Chain A
Amino acid sequence: MLLQARQLTKSFPTRGVPLEILRGADLTLDRGEAAAIMGPSGSGKSTLLHLLGTLDRPSAGSVRYEGIDPFTLAEADLADFRNRQIGFVFQDHHLLPQCTVLENTLVPTLVRGEAAQRLDRARALLQRVGLSERLDHRPAELSGGERQRVAVARALINQPLVILADEPTGNLDAVSAAEVGGLLLEMCQAEGAALVVVTHSAELAARFPQRHALRDGRLESERGS
């Protein structure tokens, strides 16, 4: 199994009693599988994604990728793991405004100095997301949908095990949202990466074979068609 999250629990300290956001969430995914996680605002969707993406540590429970618990790694190894194996797509794209489309796609390759080697892949990815004519443009010159497509290409540049997308279409209009959503599913399947999308968009979630709802800090499966 590619991804196994067991009894993930996360609580945050407050001025009073600690606030428990996740209370034992479980999730498993294999290569090429895609899951959508829905839930009301404040249910902990983004928190779950941050735990899966090793951006935060669980208060209890575990996350394993192909049997490896990344939280047992040293800090430097954890960063390396995240760089190689996990791709992120954020609601607010988070492109570097000072870099071009092509450069933004290649940013994750800087860690191991592989930008030159990955150049062709970057161009190919951008072609697949329909931005081959915009390689030298900066984020300020792109629409919201185009920026998000760059973010998708960036997330895939290192051929990660899993793509984690946090409300990837949250800031997009319906047409762009549909495009980006479809792109995510298509490219993850083509790359053999697992995909976890957090969304409150029913339309987007409907396109996923696995759907989960986050209620009361736990994931409840809602199998899709």
Chain B
Amino acid sequence: MSWRRLLWASLTYHGRANLSVVLGVALATSVLVGALLVGESLQASLRHQAIDRLGQIDLALVGDRFFPENLADRLAAATTAAESRIAPVIMLRGSAVHRLDGGGVRRAGRVQVVAVDERYWPLHGLPERSLRGEVIVNAVLAADLEADVGQFVEVRLEQPHAIPADSFVGRRTATEGVLLPAARVAEVLPMSGPGRFSLAAEQAEPRIVYVALSTLQRLLRDEGLQPQGVVNGLLIAAPKLADDEGWWRQRVNELAQLEDMGFDLQPDASGSRYLSFTSRRMLIEPAAAAAVTEAARTHGWQAQPTLTYLANVTYHRTGLVASVAASVARLAHGALPFDLIWLGEAANSFTPYATICGLDPTLPAPWGPFLDATGQPAPALADDEILLTDTMAADLWPLGGWERERGAAVAELRYFVEGPDRALREETTPFKLAGVVPLQGPAADRSLTPEFPGLAGQSIRDWRPPFPKSQWHPDWVRDKDERFYRQWRVAPRAFVSLATARKLWQSRHGDLTSIRLAAPPTDLKSLEQTVRAALKPLLVAEHQGLAPTAIRAQLFGWLFVGFSFFLILAAGLLVGLFVRLRLEQRQRELGLYFALGIPARRVQALLVREGLILSLAGALGGTLLAVGYAWLLIQAIGWGWTGSLPSSFLQFHVLTWATPLGRLPGPGVFIGFGLSLLIAWATIRLALRGWQALAPQSLLVAAAMNLPVDARRSLRRTAALALATGGAGLALAMAGRLVPPSQAPGLFFGAGFLILVSGLTALRWWLIWRSDCARVPLLGLMRFAAAQTARRPSRSLLTAGLIASGVFIVLAVEAFRKSPTDVEDRTGGTGGFTWVGEADVPLPWSPDDAASWQRLATDAMNGSDDVPPWPSEMQLFGLHLRPGDDVSCLNLYAPRQPRLLGVPDALIERGGFSFMLPGDATPAETENPWRLLLRPATEAVPILADDHAAQWVLQKNIGDVWELADESGQPFKVRLVGLLNSSMLQSELLMAGRHFRQHFPSRAGFGFFLIDAPTAASAAARHSLDELLGDAFGWTVTSAAERLANFQAVENTYLSTFQVLGGIGLLLGSLGLAIVLLRNFTERIGEWALLQALGFSRRTLGGLALVEQGVMLLAGLVVGVVAAAVAVAPMWMEMGRQIPWRPLALMLVLLPVVGMLAGLAALRSVLRVPLLQALRRE
């Protein structure tokens, strides 16, 4: 005989009772492991989708900046260790249009345009192929466009500026999109592999059109947008070193030349005097300029920084009358006939469209000094002085005599600068004439002027300048201007001081157009090598946006464990119940151990080991069952999920690990198994607590195990606990009425939970009082029946608690269910807006007033008279948009680069939506929380986010600071300063427009629009917008209410899932109730026989049984409903949420029915035992 022998004998002898514990543990395990398997399946499905859409691509180097295509070849040659294959691509956003044969148009927005060559297709495991002027679309896009193979589609792309669009030379015409000629559809790809290619961390299906890389490159070159042979992306497949992002960045840093980063280092025209450092972005970024200047200082090079600008007109003021006439002409521009304006202008001598250069004309060779006509050095320029070339002087003083006006403020420059909200504003600055230099020598250096986009062609009149057509006056160009252009192109025709040029024309993009470097007597070739070497560590490729990034998305999957928590809790309670029942069955055995002198700890150890073995068996069995449970759950989820997912998206997967023993189940199974074991063992330990406190003799005679030693003391403690939790619950409920509406549901839920605990504690008090202290005689059958529940207080409480918790969860969750809000309510989820618009091709300015509407219309419709009317009842706010990963609950991937909106000041002032505020909000910010965006951005840029996005997707709270990357890939900090409550802006983060433009200057167009139109006028407003913007900008508009409803649908789906699982938990509670009832009746078999012997009819006994079980059932139901009411009532009363009648009715009907049926069945089985046999047991 040994302890082990006793252990196994006990396990096998009490097999049936032990089996119930094993089943309970198996149930809890299957739910827990199943929930984790659902999470794993979700992860695996997302991963499968990611692999499918990415093919063999491991890293991507894609951004807004273009670089030479040959970087792909150089990188491939330098990374043979990684066995890499690299494909250059151009990836842009756009829209597509299919003009149907019978008339009508089908449009699709948010189209991903991918320009590829033959190297792309093997990255998806396909053979190389070339596209010759054709396009390939994927099935989703083909369906949207109703297009098929052989039909023609047009694609409009966002304009990929080399130069930031908001710098004055960035293209400013309304139709900033690039239109690909209509091309034949060569193939429609299925939704797999390249048909699903996307770098975005989203599971929504992309719309893709593939075009030939060479075709798009040629188009961009012809449009003057990019030089030949550039791309904005490299896709890298690297079987080895795929995860080592740092290694790849280092390779790119080593390989990248200045040209790859958008810079040029060119010798002067003679090839012998100096090198010129310029940027393809026109203005040299301040960081790059500082690096070059520093390198020059360190190495002792000579450096000449310059800034060249385009003046619309350079004037010579010839007198007061002429000046007044010119002023009148300017004021009347657009209102007067052209001829009069010309005359007014012609009264003053002028030169149209000349470039003016800011520099120091007194610098020595190789850049000067500038010499005047007499051969004397030109004077140093004061800040208000201008030095003219002789050709310009001849223009402005056609009859000569400029010498008489030297030093006089007779010259004037008119030029464009950026005004508020990116509108161009023409300014005028007068200058004193410092002198005239012949256009020769250093003054005749064409390389002083960088290549302005659009300022090319055979003649000036061929230019396509970078400002609106309405502000381009080719009619001002005279023959002599053309002659000059033919000889000198855009060489500067006048000079001002560098300081003046910077003051007038600097922007956030930079304040220099070139830095010229020389180091005599070093030859230029050597100097070039030295300069490149010196700049290498200072101009790092990854700081210029050339940073390969690993693109496998991070995924998450513990969501369903959270959903299933109540179910797991219910199963755990059931296990505890069964353990307790089993213990009660073995009371006498425990008493005997005590009488035999076996220490309590020994007995406890024996029972605990038994429990551990049962838990292990249950956990193993449950793990096997979990597979089936998870599969069922996935089918159910797939059936009920919101329509944002494709139907085949979620597939059942079990992750496995490769081990020397073969493939073993992965983390979900092991973690779930381990956790289940832990929970079961802890539950058993808890259930075994307290038995040692019972008197041995009462164990021996199998008296009730649940009586506390001191009932009165226990009553006092229980009463105190009930009052404390009830009071806390009420206090929390009152607090919920005082906080902002967004915080209220959480507080009310907490209040309801405390009321639940209080209710159950009060029930326990009644059970103890009834069983031990009640002096009221049990006169009457009802009281007699009700008192029976107090015979086993713990058992009764456990059952009632299970019912109450289930009811509470199912009903209280309804408090969080979202319902549509009043669209016109500014504090609601739509902010009072009617429509939300998006433009795939960003608008250069926002058509938010009649003037900008007209300007947009003029440009977009090429001067057509058929301009849709300005919808004056509408209020429109244009926001900047940086496309990125959706941060709403619609996206199951963890976002890497969130979608960003830049909010204009006008929208900040308008206000709208409701917010969760930081604790340090000022009164002004409390009144209008949008003002939080205007907080200083010295340490971190203030941003707003929707509360759901912040909590569930970003997992950030107010005050949190983290880093985002700007458009050149450089990190900058952002701080979450407020949360929008359940808004329609869940997909993006918001920052003030000024901060947005600072970090994403090339995204300064407007791609996102909020439109407020009164109901009566909203349809007309939408029609006007569609007409104006539809074709040209890839315009799509959705109803604000519909957008909000889509987000709410996801949340409601999550809630429904939670409720379903909670409901299953409730059913478990019912099962527990049935088992307890059966046990209760079976234990008292002799008692029931005695009552029969005393003359109680079976019907009366049935009634007694129903009352007995009904008391606990009703108690659980009432406690649960009351607690849920506290949690949900404020939503019912104040927020217009609906009373959850359906689940409530289900609870009130189903539970009592199940309970009573179980009780009657139990009683029936007990009454079947012959009367005398049953009496003998008594």
Check A110–B597 contact: CB distance below 8 A: no
- Which residue of A90, A103, A111 is within 8 Å of B5 (Cβ)? A103
Which residues in A have their C-beta under 8 angstroms from that of B440? none
- B763-797 contacts to A (CB < 8 Å): 773, 775
From the candidates B5, B589, B775, name the one contacting A15 in the complex (CB within 8 A). B775
Task: Check B1 against A103 for contact (C-beta < 8 Å).
Answer: yes
Would A76 and B599 count as touching, CB distance under 8 A? Answer: yes
- Determine the chain A residues whose CB is within 8 A of the CB of B600 once the complex forms: 75, 79
Complex Cα gap A82–B696 (Å): 13
CB pair A98–B12 under 8 Å, yes or no, is yes
Quick check: is A56 within 8 A (CB to CB) of the other chain? yes
Query: Restricting to B669-718, which residues have a CB under 8 Å from any CB of A?
Result: 695-697, 700
**Which residues of chain A come closer than 8 Å to B10, judged between CB atoms?**
98
Q: How far is the CA of A115 from the CA of B3 in the complex (A)?
A: 10
Q: Which of B1-58 contact A (CB under 8 A)?
A: 1-3, 5-6, 9-10, 12-14
Partner of A88, one of B6, B9, B596, B602: B596
Whether A110 and B697, one on each chain, are in contact in the complex, defined by CB atoms closer than 8 angstroms, is no
Whether B594 is near chain A, meaning CB under 8 Å from some CB there, is yes
CB contacts under 8 Å to B, within A72-123, are 75-76, 79-84, 86, 88, 90, 92, 94, 96-99, 102-103, 106-111, 115
A99 touches B594 (CB 8 A): no
List chain A residues, Cβ under 8 A from B775.
Answer: 15
How many Å from the CB of A87 to the closest CB on chain B? 9
Is B592's CB under 8 angstroms from A110's CB? no
Per-residue contact bits, chain B 591-615, to A (CB 8 Å; 1 contact, 0 not): 1101111111010000000000000
Q: Is the CB of A94 within 8 A of B598?
A: no
Question: Does the CB pair A110–B1 fall under 8 Å?
Answer: yes
Contact of B588 with A by CB under 8 A: yes
Cα-based distance from A88 to B597 in the complex (angstroms): 10
Contact string against A for B residues 222-263, beta-carbon threshold 8 Å, 1 for contact and 0 otherwise: 000000000000000000000000000000000000000000
Nearest CB of B to A175, in Å? 22
Give chain A nearest CB distance to B509 CB in angstroms. 84
A53 in contact (CB, < 8 A): yes
Give the chain B neighbours of A76 by CB distance below 8 A.
599
For window 956-978 of B, CB contacts with A under 8 Å fall at none
A107 to B1, CA, bound (A): 8
Which of A102, A106, A111 has a CB less than 8 Å from the CB of B602?
A111
Please count the residue pairs between chain A and chain B whose beta carbons lie under 8 angstroms apart in the complex: 83
Q: Shortest CB–CB separation between residue B696 and chain A, in angstroms?
A: 5
User: In the complex, are the beta carbons of A55 and B595 less than 8 A apart?
Assistant: yes
Docked CA distance A88–B593 (Å): 11
Cα(A103)–Cα(B4), bound, Å: 12
**In residues 173-225 of chain A, which contact B (Cβ within 8 Å)?**
none
Q: Are B9 and A56 in contact (CB under 8 A)?
A: no
Closest to A87 in B: B596
Q: Which of B13, B595, B602 contacts A97 (CB 8 A)?
A: B13
Residues of A contacting B596 with CB < 8 Å? 82-83, 88, 107-108, 111, 154
CB distance from A191 to the nearest CB of B (A): 17
Question: In the complex the two chains form, is A111's CB within 8 Å of B599's CB?
Answer: yes
Nearest-Cβ distance from residue B716 to partner chain A, whole angstroms: 16
- Known contacts: A56-B695, A106-B1, A107-B1. The answer to whether A83 contacts B598 by CB under 8 A is yes
Q: Contacting A111 at CB < 8 Å: which of B2, B13, B598?
A: B598
A31 proximity list for chain B (CB < 8 A)? none
- Shortest distance in angstroms between B393's beta carbon and chain A's nearest beta carbon? 115
Nearest-Cβ distance from residue A108 to partner chain B, whole angstroms:
5
Partner of B1 from the list A46, A80, A102 (CB cut-off 8 Å) is A102
Q: Report yes or no: B594 in contact with A110, Cβ–Cβ below 8 A.
A: no
A108: chain B residues at CB < 8 Å are 596-598
Q: Cβ of A50 < 8 Å from any Cβ of B? A: yes
CB atoms of B598 and A98 under 8 A apart: no
Q: How far is the CA of A99 from the CA of B596 in the complex (A)?
A: 15
Chain A residues in 8 Å Cβ range of B696: 55-56
Q: Are A82 and B595 in contact (CB under 8 A)?
A: yes
Chain A nearest CB, measured from B312 CB (Å): 102
With A and B bound together, what is the CA distance between A107 and B597 in angstroms? 10
List residues of chain A with CB within 8 A of the CB of B589: 96
Instruction: Mark B574-596 against chain A: 1 for CB-CB distance below 8 A, else 0.
Output: 00000000000000110110111
* Shortest beta-carbon distance from A97 to chain B in Å: 6
Partner of A115, one of B2, B9, B591, B594: B2
B595 in complex: contacting residue of A46, A53, A81, A84, CB < 8 Å: A53
- The one of B6, B13, B773 in contact with A110, judged by C-beta atoms closer than 8 angstroms, is B6
Q: Is the CB of B1 within 8 A of A82?
A: no
Q: What is the bound-complex CA distance between A83 and B600, given in angstroms?
A: 12
Least CB separation from A157: chain B residue: B596
List the B side residues contacting A56 at CB < 8 Å: 695-697
Kindly list chain B residues whose C-beta atoms are within 8 Å of the C-beta of A50. 697
Report A32-72 residues with CB < 8 Å from chain B CB. Answer: 46, 50, 53, 55-56
Contact A90 B700 (CB under 8 A): yes
CB-CB < 8 A to B1: which residues of A? 99, 102-103, 106-107, 109-110, 115
Known: A106-B1, A107-B1, A115-B1. A96 touches B592 (CB 8 A): yes
CA A79 to CA B594, docked complex, whole Å = 8
Chain A residue numbers with a CB within 8 Å of B6 are 96, 98-99, 103, 107, 110
Chain B 316-346, CB-CB to A under 8 Å as 1, else 0, gives 0000000000000000000000000000000
In the complex formed, the residue of B with least CB distance to A138 is B13
Residue of A55, A79, A99 touching B599 (CB-CB under 8 A):
A79
Alpha-carbon distance between A97 and B15 when the two chains are bound, in angstroms: 13
Complex Cα–Cα for A76 and B13 (A): 29
CB of B597 within 8 A of CB of A79, answer yes
Kindly report which residue of chain A lies nearest to residue B593, judged by CB atoms. A107
| Shortest distance between the CB of B493 and any CB in chain A (Å) | 108
- A55 and B697 in contact, given A81-B597, A98-B9 (Cβ under 8 angstroms): yes
Q: Which residue of A lies closest to B13 (CB)?
A: A98
From residue B133, how far is it (CB to closest CB) to chain A in Å? Answer: 87
Question: CA of A98 to CA of B602 in the docked complex: distance in angstroms?
Answer: 18
> Could you tell me the distance between the alpha carbons of A90 and B602 in the complex, rounded to whole angstroms?
22
A110→B595 contact, CB < 8 A: no
Q: Which residues of B contact A115 (CB under 8 A)?
A: 1-2
A residues in contact with B3, CB < 8 Å:
110
| Pairwise interchain contact B12-A111, C-beta atoms closer than 8 A | no
Closest to A104 in B: B1
Q: Would you give the shortest CB distance from B710 to chain A, in whole angstroms?
A: 9
| A83: B residues at CB distance < 8 A | 596-598
Instruction: Give the distance in Å from the alpha carbon of A83 to the alpha carbon of B596 in the complex.
Output: 5
- Alpha-carbon gap, A86 to B696, bound state (A): 15
From A90, A96, A110, give the contact of B2 (CB < 8 A).
A110
Residue of B nearest to A57 (CB): B695
| B98-138 interface code vs A (CB 8 A; 1 in, 0 out) | 00000000000000000000000000000000000000000
Q: A98-B9, A102-B1, A106-B1 are in contact. Are A79 and B598 (CB under 8 A)?
A: yes
A90 to B588 Cα, complex, angstroms: 12
Q: How far is the CB of A17 from chain B (nearest CB, A)?
A: 15
Interfacial chain B residues near A97, Cβ < 8 Å? 13
**Interfacial chain B residues near A107, Cβ < 8 Å:** 1, 6, 596, 598
Residue from B588, B594, B602, B773 in contact with A55 in the complex, judged by beta carbons closer than 8 Å: B594
B774 to chain A minimum Cβ distance, whole angstroms, is 9
State A139–B600 Cα separation when bound (angstroms): 25
A79 to chain B, nearest CB (A): 5
A107 to B602, CA, bound (A): 13
Shortest beta-carbon distance from B603 to chain A in Å = 10
Extra inter-chain contacts (10) besides given A102-B1, A110-B1, CB under 8 Å: A56-B697, A79-B594, A80-B599, A83-B598, A90-B700, A92-B588, A96-B589, A103-B6, A111-B596, A115-B1
Query: Which 8 A-B pairs have CB atoms at the shortest separation, nearest pair first?
Result: A83-B597, A98-B13, A82-B597, A106-B1, A98-B9, A115-B1, A94-B592, A79-B599
B binding-site residues for A, Cβ under 8 Å: 1-3, 5-6, 9-10, 12-14, 588-589, 591-592, 594-600, 602, 695-697, 700, 773, 775
Contact sample, A vs B, 11 pairs, CB 8 Å cutoff: A46-B697, A50-B697, A55-B696, A83-B597, A96-B9, A98-B14, A99-B1, A107-B596, A108-B598, A110-B1, A115-B1
